[in-house]
Amino acid sequence: MLVVMKFGGTSVGSVAALENVVGIVARSVQRGDRVAVVVSAMSGVTDMLLRGARQAVQGDTETARQLHREMLRRHKEVLDAFLSDPKVHDEVLNAIQSFLNEFDSLCHSIKVLGELTPRALDVIAGMGERMSVRQVAAILESRGIAARALDATQLIITDRNFGAASPLMPQTTRRSQEILVPLLDAGIVPVITGFIGATEEGIVTTLGRGGSDYSATILGCAIAADEIWIWTDVNGVMTADPRIVPDACTIPYLSYIEVGEMAYFGAKVLHPQAIRPAKRAGIPVRILNTFEPEHPGTLITREADGGDKRVKAVTAIRGLSLIVIEGSGMLGVPGVAARAFGAVARTGTNVLMISQSSSEQSICFVVPTQDAPRVLSALRQEMERELERQDIENITAQDNIVILTVVGAGMRGTPGIASKVFGALGREHINVIAIAQGSSEYNISIVVDQQDADNAVRALHAEFGLGTDAIGTTGSLS
């Protein structure tokens, strides 16, 4: 079997976790699988790199120097634990040190120029993965597994959308086949950076935060893997974020559509775009726990086993603002919505949810709070005349908003879900600000105030009985 395995930040973030990674890869190789590994930066490293760069543009490079020392310490601790051959140890340490020196000099340039471009930010953000692959490949080699560290800049070719690049699949497929297949055929485990790619000219890009999941599915699709395994720090995709809902449990089976909705609506366990390549190619994806490798986790395929549960999970996205356009003069005037969304689109903002009241007296939609000021001024400019004439009375932004979403393919055609949602929230005295249902009927989204969010997630989770027993039967690792 050809498997692409991705290990997330916590899975490569400590000596104990890396011991498990070695065991997992070794077992697959011994079984005769051909294995390609994708790794994230050690946990916390991407945040440190970004923080150093952002401080530098404010004129502070001392923070970057401190973070440099901290990142070096984290990597060195791992190298000291695993690499007993001093030559190999020093080789990898030198490679890591030169990335960190480059980080210093980039931060210095940012301070001098007083400017941090998205392009420079991607170069810096991607260094964590480049250090991580060298470390992980050397560890596997030291345990007798033939491995080779690779930068995905030579494999994943993307557009120039720095910070959230999209892969160009024909080029990516060609490169991946050319470079990865000969290694796999020779019994060598390629250890590939997650998160990063490069433009056709070779400029480093990133796929967005949490993008290593996406790297794994892009590469899995490019080399036609039999399965893609995402190793993380929880037992698969759960009925809610286990940090908020203590009795959340594993969902054994999900469809591509269901997990896509969950990821889009805030389940951090998978990058929102990651499921798309797997879905297109029909490759099964498993979400597994590095710290409990025997647990079957979640199996994602085209058709999920829905069981008799209508709702499978509750998710939440935070850090949002609700934009409201209201005015009685909008009644029946064609084109207001089109003009409003045209203006929003020109700001490059992602609109997460839209709802219009039937009286047409208001249109509201949800955007990330960081984009809200730009959206407001674009709308006020576009609607200047209507505002003057008071056809539109107000365009406002309400911050500290959360979208809660209940997801499940079994909701389709099942009456009564919305009323259960309102009933559960009503009993908790939680005010519902807006509601929307996707036409696919795979989800219902509700907007509430941030301070109600955790309670609301727990109330919905309990209302739909998600914590009490697992859905469907347990999957097994084949």
Smallest distance, ligand ASP to C-beta of residue 371, A: 19
Nearer Cβ to ligand ASP (133/453): 133
Please report whether residue 318 would count as binding ligand ADP according to CB under 6 A: no
Provide the token pair at 14: 């400590």
Name the E strands within 222-332: 227-232, 253-255, 285-289, 298-301, 313-326
Binding ligand ADP (rule: CB under 6 A), the pick from 19, 47, 102, 233 is 233
CA distance 168 to 198: 10
Smallest distance, ligand ASP to C-beta of residue 475, A: 24
Binding ligand ASP (rule: CB under 6 A), the pick from 3, 5, 9, 274 is 9
Sign, Cα dihedral of 298, 300, 301, 302: positive
Smallest distance, Mg ion to C-beta of residue 210, A: 4
8 Å CB contact between 458 and 244: yes
Please report whether residue 40 would count as binding ligand ASP according to CB under 6 A: yes
Nearer Cβ to ligand ASP (54/209): 209
- Tell which positions 198-217 bind ligand ASP, by CB under 6 A: 209-212
Distance between first and last Cα of the chain: 10
One-character DSSP codes across 447-469 = EEEGGGHHHHHHHHHHHTTTTTS
Provide the token pair at 404: 């809660």
CA distance 458 to 103: 42
Smallest distance, Mg ion to C-beta of residue 263, A: 10
Q: Measured between alpha carbons, how far is residue 439 from residues 260, 365, 409, 412, 435 in Å?
A: 15, 16, 12, 10, 13
For residue 258, the SS3 value is helix
Nearer Cβ to ligand ADP (233/428): 233
Max CA pair span of the chain: 78
Smallest distance, Mg ion to C-beta of residue 476, A: 24
CA distance 128 to 142: 21
Smallest distance, Mg ion to C-beta of residue 231, A: 11
Burial class (CB in 10 A: 0-12, 13-18, 19+), 186: exposed
- Tell which positions 124-163 bind ligand ASP, by CB under 6 A: 128
Please report whether residue 46 would count as binding ligand ASP according to CB under 6 A: yes
Please report whether residue 327 would count as binding ligand ASP according to CB under 6 A: no
With CB cut-offs between 5 and 8 Å by kind, which of Mg ion, ligand ADP, ligand ASP, none does residue 233 bind?
Answer: ligand ADP
Smallest distance, ligand ADP to C-beta of residue 271, A: 8
Please report whether residue 133 would count as binding ligand ADP according to CB under 6 A: no
Please report whether residue 45 would count as binding ligand ADP according to CB under 6 A: no
Binding ligand ASP (rule: CB under 6 A), the pick from 7, 103, 162, 195 is 195
- Tell which positions 253-292 bind ligand ADP, by CB under 6 A: 267-269
Please report whether residue 242 would count as binding ligand ADP according to CB under 6 A: yes
Please report whether residue 13 would count as binding Mg ion according to CB under 5 A: no
CA distance 151 to 134: 9
Q: Which residue is nearest to Mg ion (CB)?
A: 210
Q: Measured between alpha carbons, how far is residue 419 from residues 266, 415, 422, 448, 453 in Å?
A: 23, 9, 5, 16, 19
Please report whether residue 210 would count as binding Mg ion according to CB under 5 A: yes
| Residues binding ligand ADP (CB under 6 A) | 8-11, 40, 210, 232-234, 237-238, 240-243, 267-269, 313
| Residues binding ligand ASP (CB under 6 A) | 8-9, 40-41, 46, 128, 194-195, 209-212
| Residues binding Mg ion (CB under 5 A) | 8, 210
